[in-house]
A and B are shown apart, each in its own frame.
Chain A
């Protein structure tokens, strides 16, 4: 492998890692702060991708605007959807055992998949990226790099920075962090913890939906796309340390690197390398790279 190829592979790794982070950050928020194992998180990603496909013509006809109008509209919908879902289902799960949480969220996966099948069907669909992002940047002598992938990375970095700012620098972030460490005490201080959780959950859903929507043009939309993403997101969350956004970012990049170079150097073992990484890190640091917070 020459140096140029090596650099391109590094770019691939970072780009894949950032997209993983976007999905996993929502999962780690919900898991770490609210203590709910949300297996349906992959479904939110799937819903996002299908929204990018199914809403685009409707948004174009009624509201006007292209990809970004759809993105904005989809985000609003997903926040409302997350808020409602927390109210109807997840708010009953906080005091329950993990097994019951797993059962209910697994049930939700089945419901969402079946609804998807009824509403949109089982076919594979493509989503087109906005025109000004369809070009590509030449890299090396044979390969080009699609601009849209760079755009995805940019969005992921923006979300990461935004998340860091909100959690570490704002009053809302302070309340969220406090709620994660001691629910009763925060409530005793007069903060509406139920409302706070609802916001965190809606934000988590919105991030998964956003990931699905912006990934749709490169990944296309197809049945069961959420389940693949779910497993790798859990790996990221566990490696990074449950509830740690910083950890999720680092873990996502690490997984991206191992996956990318694993495929190139050890194609036979590519499927297990990421899990080996997880096992190794858990032996070394049982709570993940960053402890809660």
Chain B
């Protein structure tokens, strides 16, 4: 060993010794992998705001630890997802990754998280598989599964006396998951889906399929679209004169964040989701007030999901007094946590997906007004999860 090496080694040892006692006070590294540009930018920002709001409410510490954030823009691009999460894990050495919105991106993230045993909390993406075949002890979701909201729409449609229905959606993974969950919920209450219509993602030429619905004359229509597609579909549906003769149902995404653009066409549309405007619980009121004060913005379902992701992490950290090296105990604490969410308190299923009430909401003006609980404490079936 030459002199230079000796010095280097000694220095490294000293640094190590110095670092040791500091561990308890060291900041917790949280990697936020969210869309900060592109179509989903607003959603990514809402999630981050919600997350930080909870941390701020706790006095800047959760589980006794201060937080240091590392942000990566995932651009909602599945092909970059593996590299992006790799950067957080390998370069920034984060303790936990929070993300993301896009289901395709999240599936790639989950694979990396499984392989590297990184703690992952998903604050939006609803792909069923995440808490199905891809489920793992270190993967949690604070949002929803696609199955939950669409299944509830099926139950509600049947309860409201509809016997037949047509479903219409884009031909892609989320669309298929939504349509089949609706069919399941509708069939369970005695309804029958007479036709499953779809068009290529992200096409918006609906006229031919609307004519098809008009000629089929079902009792109800179930539609799942999002963003620009949702706006155009609802407007076209109303313009085709179908709104009155064939009532429209959908998961909440059909009318969430799009009402300003949908305008009069969306009035009266019934949707199901785990969040709504004017929820009758105190937690939601204080959350909305706090959010509006901090960010001068009204919160939405995405902000609430970010807030709950922070709560979930907080529950895990509290269980181990902030010591993330006790991973097994931390996971146990998260699994049994009761999250005091703005959507109403929820617990996690065996597969780490929220078991929450799904609400029936009705579009009135520019809000999705709470009507009633559509299905109480609905748990995702977690098909394919071996845990």
- Interface residues as binary, B203-246 with A (CB distance below 8 Å gives 1, 0 otherwise): 11101111110110100000000011011100110011110011
Give A91 to B308 CA distance when docked, in angstroms. 55
Given contacts A16-B205, A222-B231, A263-B199, contact A142 B263 (CB under 8 A): no
Judge whether B202 and A136 touch: CB under 8 Å.
no
Give A225 to B204 CA distance when docked, in angstroms. 10
Judge whether A125 and B260 touch: CB under 8 Å.
yes
| Interface membership of A280, Cβ < 8 A | no
Chain A, range 117-161, C-beta contacts under 8 Å to B: 117, 122-126, 128, 136, 138, 140, 142-146, 148-149
Question: Which of A5, A8, A16, A259 has its CB near the most chain B CB atoms (within 10 A)?
Answer: A8
Q: How far is the CB of A171 from chain B (nearest CB, A)?
A: 39
Question: Which of A126, A144, A145, A271 has its CB near the most chain B CB atoms (within 10 A)?
Answer: A126
- Interface residues as binary, B237-258 with A (CB distance below 8 Å gives 1, 0 otherwise): 0011110011000000000011
Chain A, range 252-292, C-beta contacts under 8 Å to B: 259-261, 263-264, 267, 270-271
Residue of B nearest to A223 (CB): B39
Judge whether A146 and B239 touch: CB under 8 Å.
yes
Residue of B nearest to A113 (CB): B38
Chain A hits for B16, CB < 8 A: none
Give A108 to B207 CA distance when docked, in angstroms. 32
| Interface membership of B200, Cβ < 8 A | yes
Chain A hits for B205, CB < 8 A: 16, 259, 263
Judge whether A142 and B214 touch: CB under 8 Å.
yes
Q: How many residues of B contact A (CB 8 A)?
A: 42
Q: How far is the CB of B356 from chain A (nearest CB, A)?
A: 27
Residue of B nearest to A128 (CB): B263
| Interface membership of B197, Cβ < 8 A | yes
Judge whether A126 and B207 touch: CB under 8 Å.
no
Judge whether A271 and B200 touch: CB under 8 Å.
yes
Judge whether A228 and B203 touch: CB under 8 Å.
yes
Judge whether A140 and B214 touch: CB under 8 Å.
yes
- Interface residues as binary, B180-216 with A (CB distance below 8 Å gives 1, 0 otherwise): 0000000000000000011110111101111110110
Q: How far is the CB of A57 from chain B (nearest CB, A)?
A: 14
| Interface membership of A218, Cβ < 8 A | yes
Give A13 to B207 CA distance when docked, in angstroms. 9
Judge whether B228 and A261 touch: CB under 8 Å.
no
Chain A hits for B210, CB < 8 A: 143
Judge whether A220 and B235 touch: CB under 8 Å.
yes
| Interface membership of A187, Cβ < 8 A | no
Judge whether A124 and B212 touch: CB under 8 Å.
no
| Interface membership of B114, Cβ < 8 A | no
Given contacts A12-B207, A218-B235, A259-B205, contact A5 B42 (CB under 8 A): no
Q: How far is the CB of B302 from chain A (nearest CB, A)?
A: 14
Question: Which of A144, A148, A220, A259 has its CB near the most chain B CB atoms (within 10 A)?
Answer: A220
Chain A hits for B232, CB < 8 A: 218-220
Chain B hits for A223, CB < 8 A: 38-39, 228
Q: Of B41, B240, B246, which one neighbours A145 at CB under 8 angstroms? A: B240
Judge whether B207 and A136 touch: CB under 8 Å.
no
Given contacts A222-B227, A228-B202, A228-B203, contact A142 B208 (CB under 8 A): no
Q: How far is the CB of A218 from chain B (nearest CB, A)?
A: 7
| Interface membership of B269, Cβ < 8 A | no
Give A225 to B15 CA distance when docked, in angstroms. 55
Q: Of B197, B241, B263, which one neighbours A267 at CB under 8 angstroms? A: B197
Give A139 to B209 CA distance when docked, in angstroms. 15
Chain A hits for B217, CB < 8 A: 142
Judge whether A142 and B202 touch: CB under 8 Å.
no
Judge whether A126 and B39 touch: CB under 8 Å.
no
| Interface membership of B261, Cβ < 8 A | yes
Given contacts A144-B240, A146-B239, contact A124 B228 (CB under 8 A): yes
Chain B hits for A218, CB < 8 A: 232, 235-236, 239
Judge whether B200 and A220 touch: CB under 8 Å.
no
Given contacts A142-B214, A222-B227, contact A122 B39 (CB under 8 A): yes
A contact set with B: CB distance below 8 Å: 1-2, 5, 8-9, 12-13, 15-16, 117, 122-126, 128, 136, 138, 140, 142-146, 148-149, 218-225, 228, 259-261, 263-264, 267, 270-271
A-B contact pairs, 27 of them (CB 8 A): A2-B215, A9-B208, A122-B42, A123-B42, A124-B228, A124-B257, A126-B235, A126-B261, A142-B214, A142-B245, A143-B210, A143-B211, A149-B207, A218-B235, A218-B236, A218-B239, A220-B228, A222-B39, A223-B228, A228-B202, A228-B203, A259-B205, A263-B212, A264-B212, A267-B197, A267-B198, A271-B200
